[in-house]
Amino acid sequence: MQFHELHDPKGLANEVTNLGRWGNGDVEVGLSKPEKLPYVMSLVRQAFEKQMGNEGAEA
């Protein structure tokens, strides 16, 4: 997914477009504390839903 498409109000994701990081695409996110896992997983879910063509789907 493109960086501008990601809804990341906490600003944890970074744009890595054209940085030569093979396999990451345009967005990179790190996990620094276990407490942030649910939020990071919400970002992963956004990318997954976009990939599967289910943008905006509720679980």
Domain boundaries, the chain: 3-52
> What are the phi and psi torsion angles at 50 (to 5°)?
-65, -45
What local confidence, expressed as pLDDT, does residue 18 receive? 83
Give one word for 34, left, alpha or beta, with left for phi > 0 and alpha for psi -120 to 50.
alpha
pLDDT tens per residue, range 20-47: 767 668 899 989 899 999 999 999 999 9
| Three-state secondary structure call for residue 14 | strand
Contact 40, 31 (CB under 8 A): yes
Residue 55 has pLDDT above 80, yes or no: no
**Token couple for 7:** 């809804």
Amino acid found at 48: F
Q: What is the pTM of this model?
A: 0.79
State the pLDDT at residue 58. Answer: 55
Contact 1, 26 (CB under 8 A): yes
Chain segment 4-16, per-residue pLDDT in tens = 999 999 999 999 8
